[in-house]
Each structure stands twice: as C-alpha cells, then as structure tokens.
Amino acid sequence: MPATMKNPKSKRSPTTPERIVDVAQRLMQTRGYNGFSYADVAAEIGISKASLHHHFRTKAALGGAIVERYARQVRESLAGIVADKHVAPERLAAFAQLYVDVLAEDRLCLGAMLAAEFATLPQPMQKTVRQFFRDNQAWLEHVIAAGRAARTLAPQGSDADAARVMLGGLEGAMLIARPLKDIDSFNVTARALLAGLQRRA
C-alpha cells in the first residue's frame, strides 16, 4: 500500500489542501484517525485551524478525502503492477512489496489502521474502508485465477478463499511487524503466503 501520493512528473508546489491531506494522511497512518486533531495538522503546516476548516469543514470530511485519495492511489499502483509484471507470482510479490514500502516509513496500510478503529469512524468512511478491502480482495482473486489458468499457481480451495488468506495474512503480518520494527518478520510471512500458492513440480 503506497504510503504517500507522489507525482514525480509534477514540479509544481502542492496546494494548501494537498499539504493538509498529505500531513493528515501521515498522521492517520501512524496514529490512527482518532489519534490526531486539526490542531496537530495546522501546527505542522503553519496555518490556523480556521484556515484548515475553510478547506475541510469537518474532520470527517478530511478523513473521507484522505481515504478516497488513498484508495485511488492503491488502484493506480495495482494497475501499474499489472502493466509491469506479466505472470501471477510476480504480481503477487509486487503486491506484497507495497506493504514493505509502507513499513519502511514506519506507517501502516491506511486500510489496516482504519479497520482497527472501524466502529468509531464516520459512516461514509466506514463505507469507503469496506470497499477498499473488497477492491483489493477482488484484484487478488483475479490475479490468482489468472495464475491458476496459466498453471503458474495452484492454490488450494477457491480463488476467493486464496485471496482472503493472502490479504488477511499480509495485513496481519504488517500489524505485527510495525511495533517490532521488524520488516524481516513481514517478509517471512509474505514468502510463506506466496509459496503456498505456487504450483508444485
């Protein structure tokens, strides 16, 4: 899962709303939705809380903008994986690498962080978080199905079940690896999950 929105082709300075979303996203990925305030964001950017409210009237509106942008960014990353990697095992390995990149910045996947706080999130954010996981599971299921058809993967059970195991395993491994500051532990789990899907000779 990408940690930040990056556009290397753009040389313009980010707008104030973009800076707000960037900072708030980082705080959400490190502290959670309930772990930061408008005062935290305003102080880091150097604007007043009134100015922040001008751009995002409520914290729920800001949170919704962050989750929607993050989900769009992940969709773009997954499309990039499909374009760059042409066999299912490589695509799944690249998917796992997205988590490693987030852990390297001492963050959690935004979906995982918000899943832990799900009951306290505004309803529109809950809906977006649910769809985020559904979309990722659907992408994994499609990749696994393609791998089965190409005989590069041989998962036990259905493609949907294999996708659930893959997604749940990676998200759980990330939750454990972050407090331990042990990316290697995540990689061990990721390799085991991938190996479990590989076709045996």
Say what the pTM is.
Answer: 0.90
Q: Which pair of tokens denotes residue 29?
A: 């990925």
Q: Which pair of tokens denotes residue 122?
A: 């505004």
Domains of the chain in sequence order: 64-197 (1.10.357.10)
Burial level of 3, CB count in 10 A (0-12/13-18/19+)? buried
Report the distance separating Cα 167 and Cα 144, nearest Å: 12
pLDDT, tens only, 7-48: 444 567 889 999 999 999 999 999 999 999 999 999 999 999
Report the distance separating Cα 66 and Cα 51, nearest Å: 18
The owner of tokens 């954010």 is: 125
pLDDT, tens only, 73-91: 999 999 999 999 999 999 9
Identity at 153, one-letter amino acid code: L
Q: Mean pLDDT in the chain?
A: 93
Please state, as a whole number, how many other Cβ atoms lie within 10 Å of the Cβ of residue 180. 10
Residue 177 three-state SS: helix
DSSP class of residue 198 equals: B
Predicted pLDDT at 8: 41
Computed from CA positions of residues 182, 185, 186, 191, in that sequence, does the dihedral angle turn out positive or negative? positive
Q: Choose among 65, 36, 32: nearest CA to 49.
A: 36
Computed on alpha carbons and rounded to an integer, the radius of gyration of the chain in Å comes to 18
Report the distance separating Cα 137 and Cα 34, nearest Å: 26
Q: Which pair of tokens denotes residue 136?
A: 């990722």
| 178 has pLDDT over 60 | yes
> Is-contact 136 167, C-beta < 8 A?
yes
